[in-house]
Amino acid sequence: MSYYIAKAVSGAFDDVVARVTEALKREGFGVLTDIDVSATFKKKIDVDFRPYRILGACNPKLAHGALSVEDKIGVMLPCNVIVQQTENGVEVAAVDPVASLGRVGNPALDEAAKTVRAALARVVKSL
C-alpha cells in the first residue's frame, strides 16, 4: 500500500502552492503550517535545494473526532501535503491517512481515515 496520493501538476511552483491551498479550503482544511524546505536548508545548512514546501493541512472537525477517539493521534497531525519542483514540472503529494492511521491499530479511526483520504484525493485530483 502506498503512503501517499500524488499527481504531476502543470503551472508555476508558487501558483500550484496557491491552488493547493484553495483546494484544501474547499474540502474544509486549513493550512496550519507552511514549511519552505529549500529556504530552511539554505539558511540552516547553506545547501541549495529545489523548491519544496510542506503544507500541514487540518480539518478541525475531523481532527477533533480523531483526538476524541485516540488522544495521542496528534503525533500524526496535521496531514502533510507537499509541493515540489521536479525535473518534469511540479508534483503534489498528500499523505494517505489510511496507511498512516492504520498503523495505530484503533478500528475507531478507520472511518475518519477513509473520509480524510477521500478528501485529500479530491484535492489532488482537482489540480
**Average pLDDT across the chain, whole number:** 95
pLDDT higher than threshold 90 for residue 103: no
H helix or E strand, kind and range, residue 14: helix 13-26
Question: Cβ distance 58 to 77 under 8 Å?
Answer: yes
Domain 4-126, second-level architecture: 2-Layer Sandwich (3.30)
Domain ranges of the chain: 4-126
Q: For residue 68, what are the contacts with CB-CB under 8 A and spacing of at least 6?
A: none
pLDDT higher than threshold 70 for residue 1: no
Taking the C-alpha atoms of residue 1 and residue 67, their distance in angstroms, rounded to an integer, is 25
Q: Residue 97 has what pLDDT?
A: 93
Q: How confident is the model at residue 101 (pLDDT cuts 50, 70, 90)?
A: confident
Taking the C-alpha atoms of residue 58 and residue 116, their distance in angstroms, rounded to an integer, is 10
Instruction: List, for residues 39-93, the tens digit of each pLDDT value.
Output: 999 999 999 999 999 999 999 999 999 999 999 999 999 999 999 999 999 999 9
